[in-house]
Amino acid sequence: GARKDGTTFPMELSVGEMHPGTGRFFTGFCRDLTERHRAEARIQEQQQELLHMARFTALGEMASTLAHEINQPLTAITNYLKGSRRLLEKSQDENAPMLRDAVEKAAEQALRAGDVIRHLRDFVARGESERQVERLPVLIEEAASLALVGAREINLLVSYKLDPAAELVLTDRIQIQQVLLN
């Protein structure tokens, strides 16, 4: 369709035919689909954001599990190296100083790897959430529009009764939408 200002818009045209006896008449109904297309684009964008967040969450869980699994052998390695160092301190072998140095360096690297694992765990625990002030009713409406896709076609109406004091919240909008959808 075309507006008065010359811009175009997506539309749906329905045509009906009548035969009242005095001739043949056509009736046309035009429906502007601009808002529907915007809503569909917004829903698709939100779904992509939620998919990204789900992948990020899965990656975090995998990293946490991996960190735990790697930390166990690192702890064992560190303990074995400490034991070896004690044994080498008592050794009279001419290679003992060189071996002590090698064991010391290996222990330092095992501890460094443990630090890397701890930082990874901290990152996973803290996360990379971007918290900002959001309007709670808008977040609920957006989550509901995702959860209730197709509800209007079956005449399902949803209403919300929210406390007016809960208008603004400090939150990560993706995480809160994920919670609302679940």
Tell me if 25 is assigned to some domain.
Answer: no
Please indicate, yes or no, whether residues 123 and 135 belong to a single structural domain of this protein: no
Output the pLDDT for position 84: 92
Please indicate, yes or no, whether residues 69 and 94 belong to a single structural domain of this protein: yes
Output the pLDDT for position 108: 79
Output the pLDDT for position 51: 85
CA trace torsion 31, 32, 35, 39 (10° rounding): 60
Tell me if 69 is assigned to some domain.
Answer: yes
Write b or e for each residue in 101-126: b if 16 or more Cβ atoms lie within 10 A of its Cβ, otherwise e.
Answer: eebeebbeebeebbeebeebeeebee
pLDDT at 3 over 60: yes
Number of domains in the chain: 2
Output the pLDDT for position 128: 54
Mean pLDDT confidence for 106-121: 77
According to DSSP, the residues that pair with 8 across neighbouring strands are: 2
Full residue range of the structural domain in which residue 79 is found: 37-127
Please indicate, yes or no, whether residues 75 and 117 belong to a single structural domain of this protein: yes
Please indicate, yes or no, whether residues 100 and 78 belong to a single structural domain of this protein: yes
Please indicate, yes or no, whether residues 96 and 152 belong to a single structural domain of this protein: no
CATH number of the domain enclosing 79? 1.10.287.130
Last residue of a domain, one of 127, 156, 173: 127
Distance from C-alpha of 110 to C-alpha of 143, rounded to nearest angstrom: 46
Please indicate, yes or no, whether residues 142 and 153 belong to a single structural domain of this protein: yes
CA 51 to chain centre: 6
Last residue of a domain, one of 127, 143, 168: 127
Distance from C-alpha of 114 to C-alpha of 28, rounded to nearest angstrom: 72
Please indicate, yes or no, whether residues 116 and 137 belong to a single structural domain of this protein: no
Q: How confident is the model at residue 129 (pLDDT cuts 50, 70, 90)?
A: low
Tell me the pLDDT tens digit for each residue of 15-55. Answer: 999 888 888 998 988 888 989 899 899 999 988 888 888 88
Write b or e for each residue in 128-153: b if 16 or more Cβ atoms lie within 10 A of its Cβ, otherwise e.
Answer: eeeeeebebeebbebbbbbeeeeeee
SS3 of residue 11 by DSSP: strand
Output the pLDDT for position 160: 81
Please indicate, yes or no, whether residues 109 and 62 belong to a single structural domain of this protein: yes
- CA distances to 57, 72, 153 from 172, rounded to whole Å, are 14, 33, 31
Tell me if 140 is assigned to some domain.
Answer: yes
Tell me if 169 is assigned to some domain.
Answer: yes
**CB-CB contact of 100 with 86 (8 Å):** no
Tell me the pLDDT tens digit for each residue of 153-166. Answer: 677 777 888 888 88
Tell me if 23 is assigned to some domain.
Answer: no
Please indicate, yes or no, whether residues 41 and 122 belong to a single structural domain of this protein: yes
Please indicate, yes or no, whether residues 123 and 53 belong to a single structural domain of this protein: yes
Tell me the pLDDT tens digit for each residue of 65-102. Answer: 888 788 888 889 989 998 998 889 888 889 888 898 88
Output the pLDDT for position 161: 86
Please indicate, yes or no, whether residues 149 and 78 belong to a single structural domain of this protein: no
